[in-house]
Amino acid sequence: MKNKLTNAIFIIFSMAIFAQVGIKTSDPKSTLDVNGNTMIRQVPKTTTLSGYEIMVLNQNNSEVSQIDPGSIFTSIKTNPTVFSAKKTSGISLLSLTLFSTWKQVNFVQADTTVGTPTLLSNSDNSYIVPETGVYAVGFYFRYGSGIQASLLTGGPGIGILKNTNGNFSVLETRNFNGINLGLLALTISEANINSIHNLNAGDKLYFGLTNSGALGASSLSTSATSFYVYKISN
């Protein structure tokens, strides 16, 4: 009888001790606390996210939790560093005092397609960088609806200006695609910029055309333009 009682006490005591198991730690903080790398050699495969959760790591306390995959996509969509805007009508080119050969596109908050509209300033048509970091920046402009041979005059193209605390600089430029074959000048009236830049919180970006003197306003009604900005790293 004494042995049975001793064994029962030992089992209860052991259960209390092993309620939390630590690997490479003598002070486990959870039911299983692994202080080191983990490896899983094989897991089942699934072709759908329905009914599944994604495991995530809290960098503050190393705790692993689960999250609905839909929450991740919602977070990306509402992330303040993800933004895009598009214009297919109502395009006009605004003069810039500091850059006389440039014309700025009149992007406004209503042109926002993804992101927080207030990141676009209706007063100066600029995009305001919300956080410091490394950003992917893209800008597209299609002038008119076809080939414009006259566009080669003066080498027009598209560009992005940056304003940091009142100091303006050219972030990137790109000429309209084209080729000049003697008397035959052919220009495909569109251009793309896709680049990566270090940007600071509060920087302003302006999207526009460079050397645009040969561009007539009549073709703007059939033009299209868009830009995107999103943070890829701190």
- Which secondary-structure segment (H or E) carries 75? helix 69-78
**Burial of 161 (C-beta count, 10 Å sphere; 0-12/13-18/19+):** buried
Backbone dihedral angles phi then psi of residue 16, each to the nearest 5 degrees: -65, -40
Find the angle CA(67)-CA(70)-CA(72) to the nearest 5 degrees: 65
How many CB atoms are located within 10 Å of the residue 116 CB?
16
List the end-to-end C-alpha distance of the chain, in Å, as a whole number: 67
Domain 83-233: give its CATH architecture: Sandwich (2.60)
Q: Give the pLDDT of residue 217.
A: 77
Token pair in block for residue 65: 């939790």
Location of structure tokens 């073709």: 219
Location of structure tokens 């605390």: 165
Domain ranges of the chain: 83-233
Q: Give tens-digit pLDDT for 84-110.
A: 999 999 999 998 877 888 999 999 999
Q: Quote the mean pLDDT of the chain.
A: 83
Cα–Cα distance for residue pair 205/147, rounded to 1 Å: 29
pLDDT band at 18 (very low <50, low <70, confident <90, very high): low
* Range with top average pLDDT, 17-31, 49-63, 100-114: 100-114
Q: Give tens-digit pLDDT for 125-148.
A: 999 999 999 999 999 999 888 777
Cα distances from 227 to residues 7, 11, 127, 160, in angstroms, run 73, 67, 10, 10
Specify the 3-state DSSP secondary structure of 108: coil
- Which secondary-structure segment (H or E) carries 229? strand 224-233
Contacts of 77 (CB under 8 A, 6+ apart): 114
pLDDT for residue 113 is more than 90: yes
Of 21-35, 83-97, 189-203, the one with minimum mean pLDDT is 21-35
Q: Give the pLDDT of residue 180.
A: 66
